[in-house]
Structure 1
């Protein structure tokens, strides 16, 4: 079974992914794959340099995330161009990791994809979509505490992601992580994992 896992920043998605992995799922982390593609020697570096200029690549040969973030937040066309470079590379790497997990005998592959709802092509490749959900206020509180960011900075990230109701509308299953302790979240995740054959 291929399960797409998503949730807004601060929802607890990464914690749920870790619990599902403990249950025996093979977890494929799209963010980690994307970071590798834009790190030194990554597959996206040459095309990004060609499209945006060498000033977007830092001294180590990796994507200058600060410069690129500033550019794509202000320029929607630049964001689309960046996505057109990165998404196919990440998609191919996710597919390869999924096939490797299947070949290794995994009963369930969890694809941890932050922008799952924003990217139309994922739905047809998944058996289930699991959304980890909480209120916007809870998201902001958690991320401010965790990352020492300002509330307005967290709100800007939330505003750049799919709206909460859009994510919920795309969900086959939802874990509500509003007031759960870590132990309660683990128990709920294990119950969910049982539905995925774990």
Structure 2
């Protein structure tokens, strides 16, 4: 099995592409979903966030107020780094658990939907393939304004706050161009899925695990035979 990092930009269509992969029967892990999961009340990250930022970041039901916390870390880089040190280890642990579960189910590859894949670079070393969902800036701007009911100025500010899609295109192994009709984009996803499914890059890990299991089985057989013969 191998990992495929999926990323894009705001209103580029990444979530829609991830849904197509799921419809095709692929294993998809959404890092945003995991990030929300690990900060639920009762989990270690939740307790540490409250200790670090105070009870003012909580809603009445005890859950993290994502808007309040987001405003805090957006304005102060040191607080953003502090939050990352709390959440990132928990996110990675949950990601590994999910990935292992899919490995046991026999998937050849797993899609990791990571919005900030190239910005943080923390997960890049684990990715065999990287995929960027791209659309030209004008299309991105129009879609964001319509989707979020934003003024042109506000939409441009949100897009400018991210790493430009053009830069991500140069860093990615695969590019899915979502500037035009959705049917064309979906066709690109289907072709990429076919390419990844045909790849033999899943074999090294699978063979390594099988070899290890055979080794353990052989050792247990030898120990059992030794025990029976000696008694």
Q: TM-score w.r.t. structure 1 length? A: 0.91
Q: Secondary structure at the match of 2:33?
A: helix
Structure 2, gaps ≥5 residues long: 199-231
In the alignment, the residues of structure 1 paired with residue 27 and residue 83 of structure 2 have an alpha-carbon distance, to the nearest angstrom, of 28
Aligned residue for 2:38?
37
Q: Please tell me whether the aligned partners of residues 7 and 13 of structure 1 are also in contact (alpha carbons under 8 angstroms).
A: yes
Aligned residue for 2:221?
none
In the alignment, the residues of structure 1 paired with residue 195 and residue 164 of structure 2 have an alpha-carbon distance, to the nearest angstrom, of 26
In the alignment, the residues of structure 1 paired with residue 38 and residue 155 of structure 2 have an alpha-carbon distance, to the nearest angstrom, of 25
- What do you get for the CA RMSD once the two structures are aligned? 1.7
* Structure showing greater Rg: 2
Aligned residue for 1:194?
194
**CA 1:42 to 1:11, structure 2 compared with 1: closer, same or farther past 3 Å?**
farther
**CA 1:83 to 1:159, structure 2 compared with 1: closer, same or farther past 3 Å?**
farther
Residue 43 of structure 1: how far off its partner (Å) = 4.2
Question: 1:117-166 deviations in whole A, cap 9, x for unaligned?
Answer: 11223121011000001122222211221222333333333233223233
Residue 96 of structure 1: how far off its partner (Å) = 1.0
In the alignment, the residues of structure 2 paired with residue 159 and residue 40 of structure 1 have an alpha-carbon distance, to the nearest angstrom, of 34
Q: Moved runs in structure 1, 4+ residues, more than 6 A?
A: none
Considering fraction of residues, name the structure with more helix: 2
> Which aligned pairs between 1:1-198 and structure 2 lie closer than 5 A?
1-180=2-181, 182-197=182-197
Structure 1, gaps ≥5 residues long: none
Q: Secondary structure at the match of 1:60?
A: coil
Q: Secondary structure at the match of 1:69?
A: helix
Greater relative contact order (CA < 8 Å, ≥ 6 in sequence): 1
Residue 82 of structure 1: how far off its partner (Å) = 1.3
Q: Secondary structure at the match of 1:131?
A: strand
Aligned residues: 197
Q: TM-score w.r.t. structure 2 length? A: 0.79
Residue 42 of structure 1: how far off its partner (Å) = 4.4
In the alignment, the residues of structure 2 paired with residue 68 and residue 154 of structure 1 have an alpha-carbon distance, to the nearest angstrom, of 22
Q: Please tell me whether the aligned partners of residues 117 and 166 of structure 1 are also in contact (alpha carbons under 8 angstroms).
A: no
